[in-house]
Amino acid sequence: MHITFVKKILASGEPCQKCKDVEQRLIASDHMHKIDEILVADERDIESAGMKLAAAVKATRAPFFVVDTEDERKVYTVYFKFAKEVLDKA
């Protein structure tokens, strides 16, 4: 399993507040070590890795998580669902 966490930088250059909140939850719950990759979706750069992945998986909100397994790819835009279905079982 490979877990990618995508957080957003707003067009103003500021980090997304919801993304910061989710990142703090990952740290507080000691789940950050389960994240394999962190990408930034920079609204000022459509070529940023996070923006490209968002387009590829059709994610329209951030933060989001992409969970790749041998069998499938799942996208989570709701942290609590992701935590329950992925992190708590890992």
The tens digit of pLDDT for each residue in 32-69 reads 999 999 999 999 999 999 999 999 999 999 999 999 99
Query: For all residues of the chain together, what is the average pLDDT?
Result: 95
Q: Report the sign of the C-alpha dihedral through residues 46, 58, 33, 2, in that order.
A: negative
pTM above 0.75, yes or no: yes
Please state the rounded mean pLDDT for residues 73-89: 94
What confidence score (pLDDT) does residue 63 get? Answer: 97
Question: What confidence tier does 90 reach under pLDDT thresholds 50, 70, 90?
Answer: low
Superfamily of domain 2-87 in CATH is Glutaredoxin (3.40.30.10)
Pairing of β 2-9 and β 64-68? antiparallel
